[in-house]
A = this chain, B = another copy of it.
Amino acid sequence: MPARNAFYAQSGGVTAVINASAAGVIEAAREHPEAIGTVYAGVNGILGALHEQLIDTAHESAQTIAALRYTPAGAFGSARYKLKGLEENRAEYERLIEVFRAHDIGYFFYNGGGDSQDTAQKVSQLGEAMGYPITCIGVPKTVDNDLPVTDTCPGFGSVAKYIAVATREAGLDVASMAETSTRVFILETMGRHAGWIAAASALAQDREDAPPHVILLPEVALDEQRFLDRVQACVERIGYCVVVVSEGLRTADGQFVADQGTRDAFGHAQLGGVAPAVASMVRDRLGYKYHYAIADYLQRAARHIASATDVEQAHALGRAAVELALAGHNAVMPTVVRESGSPYRWHVGQVPLEAVANREAKMPASYIDAEGLFVTEAALRYLRPLIAGEDYPPYRDGLPEYARLRGERVAPRCPPFRD
């Protein structure tokens, strides 16, 4: 069988290690020229295929590809773009096949979350139906850690480490000044539907009464009185309180706490973030001086403090995707299978895309304490190995020196796409 080309695309919110998966895919593909010709990467993910904007990664040196391992964000561009169902928008899928056919693309590696695995599966089905067989392999990625089956998702371990480190450091800051300054510090983390990231802050607690003291998760409707009682008790006992809150925190009626009807001077609604909303409760009901931080993109882009475990898994799953394809698998995704937690031992497994597509893994009840205001020892046992190890990027003039691609485009061969 002659070698065929591959298409690699990044999808959804980027992470500190998604490029490590890209490096794994490209490096593994280069080791098999008998089976895989060129790896084309989509400019802005799947949009790059629809618009036939492809980067020819063959023009990137081995050093540049290796540098992707320590470069955050999406080196080729990513997109928040979900292809609709086959019935609703068959034209988009047919366009993908058209572009794939024009460039002799026989492998599709889609690096994303649950939505993307759904897309990869549909492309696989349609290729089959249209007489253009294509091997579609998912590569897991999401800071939210909400993909099922796999022990964890590349991207999560690093954001977890960032949040745990930030909580420990800011916690020391607050503790050292509480007597005359801030009593309650609130750190807002990502996590719209699942509380994994906020939960990881608990790893910072290295002794009784160390921060964080309260963790508010999207899985638990906010009981304002219970929360404020806990904060007050904490301040009265040790002088201060560190609260970590997931952006997806909701009230009992299902409303986002971040969307509490805040209005600016002109009466415009402001989605102010959940941290200021929680801070307002603390101020109005308890009267404590507060501060809050909103880490936002800083947390998922923080390659400078990435988890070595996460980097290794991201790279390994990129490689594994290629190896699965070469072994004849289709419509599958490589996974992390945990053998033991302490010491952490894992190997690469696999799962059919249909088993992960559009499914969300939330925190199990056994990981959340009885009052819903902290996590359990079981959660800590699960989380601890995922942040292990440091993997520093190289620095130049005091700043991390990240990969810069040549990014040479492939000449288009198809008519423009009308969307």
The 8 Å CB contact of A307, one of B166, B179, B398, is B398
A268 touching B294 in the complex, CB below 8 Å, given contacts A73-B176, A78-B176, A398-B389:
no
Cα separation A181 to B78 with both chains bound (whole Å): 9
Q: Which 6 pairs, one residue from A and one from B, show the smallest C-beta to C-beta distance? A: A74-B176, A261-B265, A73-B172, A387-B398, A293-B296, A169-B301
CB pair B302 A296 closer than 8 Å = no
Interface set, chain A 162-215, CB cutoff 8 A to B: 164-166, 168-170, 172-177, 179-182, 185, 187, 203-204, 206
CB pair A73 B173 closer than 8 Å = yes
Cα separation A304 to B206 with both chains bound (whole Å): 17
Binary contact readout A248-270 vs B (1 if CB under 8 angstroms, 0 otherwise) = 00000000000011111110101
Most buried by B among A72, A78, A165, A175: A165
A→B interface (CB under 8 Å): 10, 13-14, 16, 44, 47, 71-81, 161, 164-166, 168-170, 172-177, 179-182, 185, 187, 203-204, 206, 260-266, 268, 270, 272-273, 275-277, 280, 284, 291-298, 300-305, 307, 309, 384, 387-390, 392, 395, 397-400, 402
* CB-based nearest B residue for A71: B172
A261 — which chain B residues lie within 8 A by C-beta? Answer: 264-265
| 11 residue pairs bridging A and B, Cβ less than 8 Å apart | A73-B173, A77-B176, A77-B179, A164-B399, A187-B298, A264-B280, A268-B284, A276-B276, A293-B296, A384-B398, A390-B395
CB pair A75 B280 closer than 8 Å = no
A14 — which chain B residues lie within 8 A by C-beta? Answer: 173, 176-177
CB pair B172 A72 closer than 8 Å = yes
Cα separation A298 to B166 with both chains bound (whole Å): 6
* CB-based nearest B residue for A181: B80
CB pair B263 A177 closer than 8 Å = no
Q: Quote the shortest CB–CB distance from A68 to chain B (angstroms).
A: 12
CB pair B268 A264 closer than 8 Å = no
A397 — which chain B residues lie within 8 A by C-beta? Answer: 203, 384, 387-388
* CB-based nearest B residue for A277: B264
A72 — which chain B residues lie within 8 A by C-beta? Answer: 169, 172-173
CB pair B165 A400 closer than 8 Å = yes
